[in-house]
Amino acid sequence: MPTALITGAGRGLGLEFARQYAADRWRVIGTVRDAKGKAALAKLGANVKSRRLDVTDRKQVARLAAGLKGIPIDVLILNAGVYGPKGARFGKLDYRAWEEVIRVNVLGPAAVADALIENVAASERRTIVMISSRLGSIAENRGDGDLPYNTSKSALNALAKGLAVALRSRGIVVVAMSPGWVRTDMGGRSAPLAPEESIGRLRKLIGGFTREHSGRFISHDGSGIPW
């Protein structure tokens, strides 16, 4: 039975990832920050286990890794993230809030990936997926979105590319993926994609990843996105 570990699994895209993998009889480990997230995962069945984790807390990350020592993780999905302050433009920037977005969206995934590399390397599928956003594309930057979020996703993309190069010799595939604009708390009700549709597409793509895909930035529709 393959294993997926999903950060930020208590709601939104993370919860949908957990639901779909569990339905396909995967063993799922979902990290959550609170009791509400733990309760949401508990409804998905016996194959789904929750672990308390704030990705910005290095001690919690270390405890997670210690508790999972020796357990192979086939697919590590680094999904936990925040949008940060909306309307963030020059002249009205909250730098403390921006720093928090960077801590959650960039340093958090880096810390979790670093802590669980051996688990991924010990698995059959050896795949790391970083949930990014098209708003992180520098080539396509049209001034949409908000600076804290956009810059954090650009940095996350650079992290994904760097890890892909660093881990290539170990056969670990690292891909940055954009789920599209999805109807979640972050995406809002007017988003065109339902979570089930977006995650279904991402999972189909993830299931077909090979070493040739490592280091790429891929949309939910399978197309490549320029860095």
Structure confidence by residue, pLDDT tens digits, 99-131: 999 999 999 999 999 999 999 999 999 999 999
- Region 167-181 average pLDDT: 96
> Does residue 166 carry a pLDDT above 90?
yes
> Does residue 193 carry a pLDDT above 90?
no
* pLDDT score of 53: 98
Question: Domain 3-219 adopts which CATH fold?
Answer: Rossmann fold (3.40.50)
- Region 84-91 average pLDDT: 83
Distance (Å, rounded) from C-alpha 126 to C-alpha 5?
12
> Both tokens of residue 193?
């994609």
For 196, residues 6+ apart whose C-beta sits below 8 A from its C-beta are 16, 20
CB contact at 8 A, 193 and 180: yes
Give me the DSSP letters along 111-163. HHHHHHHHHHHTSSS-EEEEE--GGG-STT--S-S-HHHHHHHHHHHHHHHHH
SS3 99: helix
- Region 193-197 average pLDDT: 92
> Does residue 183 carry a pLDDT above 80?
yes
